[in-house]
Amino acid sequence: MVNQTSNLQQSLDVRTQWEEIYSDPQTAHKNKYPTELVVSTVFRNFKTRSGLKALDLGCGWGNNLRFLRDVGFDAYGIEISQTAVESMRDEFGDKVVQGTFLDLPYPDDHFSFILDRSSIQHNPIHDIPAAIQEARRVLKSGCIFFSMMVATHTNAYNATVLSEPEVRSLLSGFSEFSIDFETRSSNEGSRIHTVHLITARK
């Protein structure tokens, strides 16, 4: 039986963590431009985007969300940090909401593209299947979910590291999916960071 009290506390802990991060002046609005992999994924999979609804899970300061909007999507975002959401209120209005990935405030089969740029990975391990299930629920049939999930223990923000078999199991509800990898080094090779690059179709 699921311990609802424990899950609620862990969700509150995640929210508190990200409120602290987004309230820190050193990290405020540091993400200005879209992520390269997001840009390439969009242009590779969507030749036309006008009128298609896209959802950015964990939209942060809005760098990828702005890109989605600017290339023609009807772009929506959800973010756990109220500080980050309020920073985008004038620009996006009610298209950006505060919330978690476990109970997305959207109807079934609503979006043509769902983006998870390394956000789901910051949930506790037992919440990640529900987050994937919710993303699949609000995605239209035949449409694409793109996700980046950490594969090595090098992330500073307590990300849940998943093996490839675990990722494949999480994606079993999709009609098809592919998993690639990206590995980068920093500090002259002393820090190696590998992520799963996931493209799944409902």
- Beta-bridged to residue 56, according to DSSP, are 77, 115
CATH match for 4-201 among 3.40.50.150, 3.40.50.2000, 1.10.287.3510, 3.40.50.20: 3.40.50.150
Cα–Cα dist 103/118, whole Å: 18
Q: pLDDT tens digits, residue range 109-137?
A: 999 999 999 999 999 899 999 999 999 99
Q: What ranges do the domains of the chain cover?
A: 4-201
Instruction: Report CA Rg, the chain.
Output: 16
7 has pLDDT over 70: no
DSSP 36-48: HHHHHHHHHH-S-
What backbone torsions phi and psi does residue 159 show, to the nearest 5 degrees? -75, 150
Relative orientation angle of helices 36-45 and 63-70, to the nearest 10 degrees: 30
CB atoms within 10 A of CB 174: 18
Taking Cα atoms as reference points, which of 29, 28, 26, 46 lies closest to residue 146? Answer: 46
DSSP state, 68? H
What is the per-residue pLDDT for 12?
A: 58
What is the per-residue pLDDT for 14?
A: 75
Distance linking the first and last C-alpha atoms of the chain: 29
Q: pLDDT tens digits, residue range 68-120?
A: 999 999 999 999 999 999 999 999 999 999 999 999 999 999 999 999 999 99
Q: pLDDT tens digits, residue range 139-186?
A: 999 999 999 999 987 655 678 999 999 999 999 999 999 999 999 888
What is the per-residue pLDDT for 3?
A: 41
Query: Can you list the alpha helix ranges (DSSP code H) found in the chain?
Result: 4-23, 36-45, 63-70, 82-87, 89-92, 128-138, 164-170
What is the per-residue pLDDT for 2?
A: 35
Measured CA distances, 202 to 62, 95, 132, 195 (Å): 25, 23, 12, 22
Q: Are strands 53-57 and 111-117 parallel, antiparallel or unpaired?
A: parallel
